[in-house]
Amino acid sequence: MAHSHDLTRRTLLRGVAGTTALAGIGMPAIVRAQADVIRIGHLTPITGFLGPLGEFAQMGVKLAAEEINTGGGVLGRRIELVIEDSVNPQTASAKAERLIERDKVAMIIGEISSASALAIGQVAARTKTVFINTGANSDALRGANCNPFMFHIEAANSMMVTAVGNYLKAEKLIQGKKWYSLTADYAFGHDLFKVAKKFVTENGGQFIGEDLVPTDATDFSPYLLKIRQARPDVVASNLAGNQITNFIKQYAEYGLQFPITGFGFDTAVAWGAGKGNFSGIWPLIWHHMVDTPSSRKYVEVFTKKYGKPPENQSWGDYNSLKIVAQSFAETKSIDPQKLAEHLRKGAKFDVLKSREGYFRPYDNQMVQEMYAVRAKDASKMKDQWDIYDPLGSVPGPSEDLEILAPEKDGTCKIPA
């Protein structure tokens, strides 16, 4: 008993000493620092089944901060990132609040999970802080759940579907064809399947199988047997994260030859599949073979820093910070209200594509070009990153960018 009493007292003393030290030295340091830095919060899952993408997100945003600071910062101040793992919607919400209240960040960038993005978006609306979503695809975030402070550089599910759908039409894989789909059994998958099914059936395709796959499934063989039995013309994946890697690997293992496509996709999961496993036509918001001067430069700098090329997730977080820095400079302010207004007024940004992108005021979705890629034959791969050939970009050069954006169905009600 006496022993434990002693321990408690010691712990207490240590605690007091620590607090004093912090109060005496730590606090003024932070206050002093705040005058010459702009803090930006970054929240994204780095554990769990979206973790691989989160790692790319962090690499992207760090590179952007480094480039901005080397170039003299913004408004004479350095960018300082406060980076956290968002884990799940509850944690994401709590951390967003802490970033805003305690760390006094100027705005927040990040997220991949649609559920967590919704949670952060709600905090953003309540505290009137700008949040740029870099990886969550659910259309509901741009519809019923939209708000004036949540912006989306990432494409909505419906944009992914339209982007790849145009190429599938050109390849004659929709009209009169039989489709079999595997869908991740949670909010994102359901949302994606809904828009995918609408697109396919409207264009004359037909679903002969639509299986839901639990997110904890690692063995796909019973599904693959069903697909082989059903003999579809096209197999479509509405899976997410690591699920796609497992599916691609086992699809190749079972030797199925039906063409694959997918409506949700990230390059990292296909890089992780291994030689000879990846096949099909897939949509991407950006890929490392996009041939514009700014894109080429980004790929070069990123590859030099991290030893591997960037993928679509790092693109989102890199560009978001660049957009924010540019907006701060243009408005000569870091006021969140001014930032939101500036973004919503149609300011244009170089997002490493042949045409500039802009946020449309209806739902704060970035209107921009998108891409589709076709898996490369294993024998033609130059290295482990060289897994697909670009098919081109949507919309075409003469078309309005906005034909790709989600339908304005009136569910988003942001006051103009």
Partner 1 sequence: MALIFLLEQVLNGLLVGAYYLLIALGLSLIFSLGGIVNLAHGGFYAIGAYLAVSLAPLIGFGGAFVASPILVGALGVIVERLFFRRFYRSDPTLSLLLTFGLAMVIEQSLRIVFGAAPLPFSIPPALRGQVFVGDFIYPRYRLIIFGVALAAVAATWFLVYRTAFGRVVRAGVQNPDMVGALGISLQPYMTAVSALGIGLAGLAGVLLAPISGVHPAMGAEILTAAFVVVVIGGLGSFWGVIAAAVLVGVVRGLTIFFYPPAGEASMYLLMALVLLLRPRGLFGERIQKFE
Q: Where does this chain bind partner 1 (CB under 8 A)?
A: 46-49, 51-52, 54-56, 185, 211-214, 216-219, 221-223, 225-226, 228-229, 242, 245-246, 249-250, 252-255, 268-269, 271-277, 384
C-beta closer to partner 1: residue 275 or 345: 275
Q: At closest approach, how far in Å is the CB of 163 from partner 1?
A: 23
Nearest distance from residue 209's CB to partner 1, in Å?
A: 9
CA distance 62 to 59: 5
Please identify, using beta-carbon distances, which residue of 130 and 248 lies nearer to partner 1: 248
Strand-pair category, 107-110 with 37-44: parallel
Residue placing its CB nearer to partner 1 in the complex, 60 or 336: 60
CB of 207 to partner 1, least distance (A): 14
Q: Looking at beta carbons only, is 4 or 229 nearer to partner 1?
A: 229
Instruction: Look at residues 277, 299, 301 and name the one whose alpha carbon lies nearest to residue 289.
Output: 299
Q: Provide the minimum distance between the beta carbon of 86 and partner 1 in the complex, in angstroms, as a whole number.
A: 14
CB of 92 to partner 1, least distance (A): 18
Least distance in angstroms from the C-beta of 313 to partner 1: 10
Bridge partners of residue 283, in order along the sequence: 372
- Residue 6 CB, shortest distance to partner 1, in Å, is 25
Handedness of CA 223, 226, 231, 233 (dihedral sign): negative
Q: How far is the CB of 243 from partner 1 (least distance, A)?
A: 8
Per-residue H/E/C for the chain: CHHHHHHHHHHHHHHHHHHHHHHHHHHHHHHHHHHHEEEEEEEECCCHHHHHHHHHHHHHHHHHHHHHHHCCCECCEEEEEEEEECCCHHHHHHHHHHHHHCCCCCEEEECCCHHHHHHHHHHHHHHCCCEEECCCCCHHHHCCCCCCCEEECCCCHHHHHHHHHHHHHHCCCCCCCEEEEEEECCHHHHHHHHHHHHHHHHCCCEEEEEEEECCCCCCCHHHHHHHHHHCCCEEEEECCCHHHHHHHHHHHHCCCCCCEEECCCCHHHHHCCCCCCCCCEEEECCCCCCCCHHHHHHHHHHHHHHCCCCCHHHHHHHHHHHHHHHHHHHHCCCCHHHHHHHHHCCCCECCCCCCCEEECCCCCEEECCEEEEEECCHHHCCCCCCCEEEEEEECCCCCCHHHHCCCCCCCCCCCC
Q: Distance between CA 50 and CA 269 in Å, rounded?
A: 10
Q: Indicate the residue among 214 and 410 with the shorter CB distance to partner 1.
A: 214
Pick between residue 223 and residue 328 the one whose CB is nearest to partner 1.
223
- In whole angstroms, the minimum distance from the beta carbon of 182 to partner 1 comes to 9
Alpha-carbon dihedral 373, 375, 380, 383, rounded to 10 degrees: 80
Nearest residue (CB) to partner 1, 169 versus 178: 178
* Residue nearer to partner 1 on the CB measure, 190 or 374: 190
Given the complex with partner 1, which of 44 and 147 has the nearer CB atom?
A: 44
Cβ 220 vs Cβ 247: under 8 Å: yes
Nearer to partner 1 among residue 207 and residue 254 (C-beta): 254
Nearest CB to partner 1, comparing residues 253 and 389? 253
Shortest gap between Cβ of 285 and partner 1 (angstroms)?
18
Query: Least distance in Å: CB of 230 to partner 1?
Result: 10
The reply to whether omega before 395 is within 30° of 0 (cis) is: yes
